[in-house]
Structure 1
Amino acid sequence: MPYLHHPRTAEIDLIPVLHALADPVRLGIVTALADRTELPCGELDFGISKASMSHHFRVLREAGVTTTRQDGKHRLIALRAADLEQRFPGLIGPLLDAARPSTVG
């Protein structure tokens, strides 16, 4: 299995994080991960090709938003909420709140 780069917490930069979160699919992935410890990549389905999903997972991972680990044949993805909070206090919570569907009505 090839090595997957994950930036150290101190290396996470705001511009790549914001770029990663600006895409609706990637924001949907992050929102889906927000309430879980980790999730198999295959369980996330946004109606796009596996190659496109892999691209979105890579952008999130390389920006430092998520972490991916191998578990047998499966890759498990998790949100790096604590690392993001450490680097950019108060950023991730409001972004996730704004991305979730509103229940007002």
Structure 2
Amino acid sequence: MKLLKILIILLLLIKGFTQILICNDDPTVFLALKLNPLSENYNYINYLSQNSYYVLFSDENEMIGQNIIDMIYKIPLILYISVLLILFFLKHKNAKEKTL
């Protein structure tokens, strides 16, 4: 159960705080940090300015593991939060039953 919580938190952080930058005229793809968790996960840009994005990784054509990241991005943010809240609720309920 603890490992599942850690996995959900990791997926939530990836979904909420990363984005894929795709250049309009270049096949290079960038994985960058974003500060607003509710903003889009894909951003089409004309050019990459050094001061506008915090780039974590870049690659030609497609990133390694981009299919997995695409799958993470397709799942709604509310689903991650809901599963995490359910797991915390179940832990609290089990802890409460053990004390009785």
> TM-score by structure 2 length?
0.33
> TM-score by structure 1 length?
0.32
Which of the two has greater strand per residue?
Answer: 2
Bigger radius of gyration, 1 or 2?
Answer: 2
